[in-house]
Chain A
Amino acid sequence: MKKLNNLLLKNSTFPILVALLCSAIFAGGHMFVKYGFGFFNEIAQAEMVRQGIQTGDFAAPVGFAAGFIIARVLEGPLVGILDIGGSLMTGVGTGFVSLFLASGLGFVVDNFLLSLLAGVGIGLVIGIIIIAVKKAMPSGMAASGTNIMMGAGNATGRYLGPLIILSAAKYSIPAGIGAIIGAAIFFKMKKEIVGGVIIGAMIFAVLFPVTVGG
């Protein structure tokens, strides 16, 4: 165990860890495309990919992810902690999976083994780039922009709860009422209201079925 510890504290093993994590995240994309769940990201990013699959236009997820992966890979070696949310979950899980689907490499995502391997490859490259940047350590590319992006990212999260309440209200009267009750309970319990909104809307929509969109 001591040997493993020392080995895993070396900078040279960092790309291997990134490769394994990317492998899991990319295969999460495989699960999502094939079964509709298992995506290692937030609801908004999952819907971006789902819209891409439905319309065939992946510009939104690819572009969105590109910004995050560039920012995080530059920031990671500067501060010593690579933010896996922006760089890997969004950059690889949303961006690269969408890129593969958009550019005729969809068979890689469709195949479990190939998706694991694709993740390993992408992760190795990202990990090596980060260690290389850390060694070279150029000054000047500030990490300060990421604070603003994080703030904006958190702000978008806040909008989702109220937005789903509105959407549930439009879907059917019971779903709307359920969403409101769920949100109120979760807010009172000091939890993120999104969870309560979805659960409340689902329960009421199932208990009181209404034919929608007639």
Chain B
Amino acid sequence: MLIIVIKSLIIGALGGLAVSAGAARMFHAPEVQAMGAFRTMGELNACKGDPIAHFTFGLGFFFNAAGSIVGSGALTQDVLHRIIPNWSAGVLLLKNKKVEETLYHPGSMAVVGAFVGAITVAALNSVASLIPANLSAIAQGILGPASAVMIETIMPIIFILAAIDAGKTTGVWGIVLGGISHVIMGNATPGAVLGIIIGQSIQDNGYNKSVKIMITIVVVLFALIGYFREFWANLLSIVTAAF
């Protein structure tokens, strides 16, 4: 238990520092390279200046994260996207309501973020570690089959449909790369994702140099994965057996 808390404090401090500084940098983008997410920036703006708004917004996602980590061990993306940036901003705003002197300052956000992150991650991981084993066995019994269907069927379908809905070129790339990726690696999602990126770039800019580089990378990637998963050997044996 103690070792889990110590590790969680270290992880949370590192992540909290970096993600809070990254969030502050968002207000200086695009000149300054930031990290976070557009929705994080929008949400920070939405409760701008009001510490209570930042705290309650984060708290809602904290309960979600607690439920998720008890059930599946996943902290959810909200810990880094929403909880830590909003709580760090809230702490800073308690002292000074001017966002230009608090939320927009990566230095202050980094320092506060390290503490907020350490406490948040340690609290969530401690909750998870206190859950008795039979409870997590039940969670696994329920979540396991659901996520298997999710990964093997629903996600590939959604990503291929998204490609189809995005136009002819993207649709064709999504279907073809998605299909090939299901044949080679047993899951269409990665291929459909790559198909969407390539198809959209072609639709927007035509077959320029960066698209060609991208296609080359994808072909090499698929060829290599096929080799390691013995796809080519299997294909060869099927073809030779046919003749």
* Residues of chain B lying within 8 A (CB to CB) of residue A67: 189-190, 193-194, 197
Judge if A114 is at the interface, Cβ distance under 8 Å: no
Contact residues, B114-153 vs A (CB, 8 A): 117, 121, 124-125, 128-129, 134-136, 138-139, 141-151
B33 close to A80 (CB less than 8 A)? yes
Contact of B158 among A7, A64, A155 (CB under 8 A): A155
Q: How far is the CA of A206 from the CA of B141 in the complex (A)?
A: 13
Q: Assuming the A-B contacts A43-B143, A159-B158, are A24 and B214 also in contact, with contact meaning beta carbons closer than 8 angstroms in the complex?
A: no
* Residues of chain A lying within 8 A (CB to CB) of residue B121: 38
Interface string of B214-239 (1 = CB under 8 A from A): 10010001000100010000000000
Interface of B is mostly: helix
Q: How far is the CA of A30 from the CA of B14 in the complex (A)?
A: 15
A85 close to B77 (CB less than 8 A)? yes
Judge if B21 is at the interface, Cβ distance under 8 Å: yes
Q: How far is the CA of A25 from the CA of B16 in the complex (A)?
A: 11
Chain B CB count within 10 A is highest, among A77, A82, A166, for A82
* Residues of chain A lying within 8 A (CB to CB) of residue B106: 4-5, 8-9
Q: Chain A: which residue is nearest B139 at the CB level? A: A202
> Shortest Cβ distance from B225 into chain A, in angstroms?
7
Contact of B187 among A41, A64, A148, A155 (CB under 8 A): A64
A70 close to B73 (CB less than 8 A)? no
Contact residues, B31-78 vs A (CB, 8 A): 31-38, 41, 60, 63-64, 67-77
Q: Chain A: which residue is nearest B41 at the CB level? A: A81
Contact of B108 among A5, A7, A21, A47 (CB under 8 A): A5
Q: How far is the CA of A116 from the CA of B9 in the complex (A)?
A: 13
A7 close to B107 (CB less than 8 A)? yes
Q: Assuming the A-B contacts A46-B74, A48-B151, A85-B81, are A148 and B142 also in contact, with contact meaning beta carbons closer than 8 angstroms in the complex?
A: no
What is the total number of residues of chain A having a CB less than 8 Å from a CB of chain B? 101
A202 close to B138 (CB less than 8 A)? yes
Contact of B146 among A18, A134, A140, A164 (CB under 8 A): A164
B26 close to A44 (CB less than 8 A)? no
B186 close to A81 (CB less than 8 A)? no
* Residues of chain B lying within 8 A (CB to CB) of residue A1: 105, 107-108
B107 close to A59 (CB less than 8 A)? no
Contact of B77 among A20, A89, A205 (CB under 8 A): A89
> Shortest Cβ distance from A68 into chain B, in angstroms?
7
* Residues of chain A lying within 8 A (CB to CB) of residue B139: 198, 202
Judge if A175 is at the interface, Cβ distance under 8 Å: yes
Q: What are 10 A-B pairs at a CB distance below 8 A?
A: A21-B35, A44-B151, A48-B147, A48-B151, A82-B33, A140-B211, A159-B158, A202-B70, A202-B135, A202-B139
Known: A38-B73, A47-B72, A202-B138. 19 other contacts (CB 8 A): A21-B15, A21-B35, A35-B4, A36-B128, A37-B128, A39-B73, A39-B74, A60-B190, A64-B187, A81-B34, A84-B19, A89-B80, A138-B210, A145-B170, A145-B197, A175-B138, A195-B64, A198-B72, A206-B134
Q: Which residues of B contact A (CB under 8 A)?
A: 4, 7-8, 10-12, 14-19, 21-22, 24-26, 28-38, 41, 60, 63-64, 67-77, 79-81, 105-108, 110-111, 117, 121, 124-125, 128-129, 134-136, 138-139, 141-151, 154-155, 158-159, 161-163, 165-166, 170, 181, 185-187, 189-191, 193-194, 196-201, 204-205, 208-211, 214, 217, 221, 225, 229
Query: Lowest 8 A-B CB distances belong to which pairs?
Result: A80-B30, A24-B15, A63-B190, A67-B193, A80-B29, A4-B107, A47-B147, A145-B200
